[in-house]
A and B are shown apart, each in its own frame.
Chain A
């Protein structure tokens, strides 16, 4: 079996060139699915019998929480691949995943707090699920901070990858927190093992939003990785060639003038 694809995948140059093509079709699909799901959930789905319309926050809260957790796996796995195979691109993906994950975790916490006010009568409780999500936010912020704590990019990447891997113990705790410490946060609505405890009219737009958030995450991760590639490789010949081709005429003109 040829390992060529693996090495190509690890090449920042290859990724930079091809990701532009992926974005061209991924962006419009992601925008359409997110906006379509949002309109469906906010305006068309029926209201909840007990919670009224405040339940509509679920269409942002649950997808953001899904991706906050899935994004952590992506960041930790990217860090592990970097540690094991010394793949530069992998570290760049890890660094890019950190701020996106932190933002999504913040959205999950913020939307949950707002939702809590009309439903539980409070913005915040030190419930197991909420507290473990707050720890997730700090783990993301920790990986971000480590990227700027070292002079050497290599040392920063390794430290971030190790923190990311150690932090994965928090993920099963988050998943199980609603079952282990049954306090205020309700148990999972969507389970692989049983039918959803939600009416299809409400459940279908939620599924659309979850797919939409996955697509959005892919777009955001590719955009962040592209800018990170450029930041780290800006002194290399391929980046210069890239610009040389583009700016040949402009450069010639400016040099001619002076």
Chain B
């Protein structure tokens, strides 16, 4: 397991093909990260929404101005 290229600089330029290889790598990794982050963010937003609904319902139930309540 040794690096094929003589130096880090060579790894970046890849004899002129570096621009093709690295642009593909960057775009691919960005899309893959987005595929993981997007559902995590939407799940978090949904959990917040449900929590807000629960709070609102509880506030309504315990509110003293609530005339329909049992107490």
Contacts and interface: CB of A to CB of B under 8 A. Distances in A.
A45 interface: yes
A231 B48 CA distance: 12
Contacts of A244: 54
B28 interface: yes
A117 B55 contact: no
Given A216-B32, A254-B55, A243 B39 contact: no
B50 A240 contact: yes
Contact of A255 (B42, B50, B59): B59
A53 B14 contact: yes
Classify the interface of chain B: helix, strand, loop or mixed: helix
Interface string A221-256: 001101100110010000110011001001100110
A35 to B, nearest CB: 10
Contacts of B55: 251, 254-255
Contacts of B34: 103
B42 A239 contact: no
A42 interface: yes
Interface in A106-146: 106-107, 110-111, 114-115, 117-118
Interface stretch (A3-11, A56-64, A190-198): A56-64
Interface string B47-66: 10111001100110010000
Interface string A31-70: 0001000100011111100001110110011001000000
29 contacts: A38-B25, A42-B21, A47-B15, A52-B14, A53-B18, A54-B21, A56-B14, A61-B24, A100-B35, A103-B34, A106-B31, A107-B31, A111-B28, A114-B20, A115-B20, A220-B32, A220-B35, A223-B43, A227-B43, A230-B50, A231-B46, A234-B50, A243-B47, A243-B50, A247-B51, A250-B51, A255-B55, A255-B58, A258-B59
A176 B55 CA distance: 57
A89 interface: no
B24 A57 contact: yes
Contacts, number: 116
Given A106-B31, A110-B27, A219 B36 contact: yes
Contact of B46 (A103, A223, A230, A258): A230
A243 B2 CA distance: 51
B71 to A, nearest CB: 15
Contact of A251 (B5, B23, B32, B54): B54
A185 to B, nearest CB: 17
Contacts of A250: 51
A107 B28 contact: yes
Nearest to A64: B28
Contact of B5 (A43, A107, A117): A43
B24 A115 contact: yes
A57 B21 contact: yes
B24 A60 contact: yes
B50 A60 contact: no
A100 B33 CA distance: 11
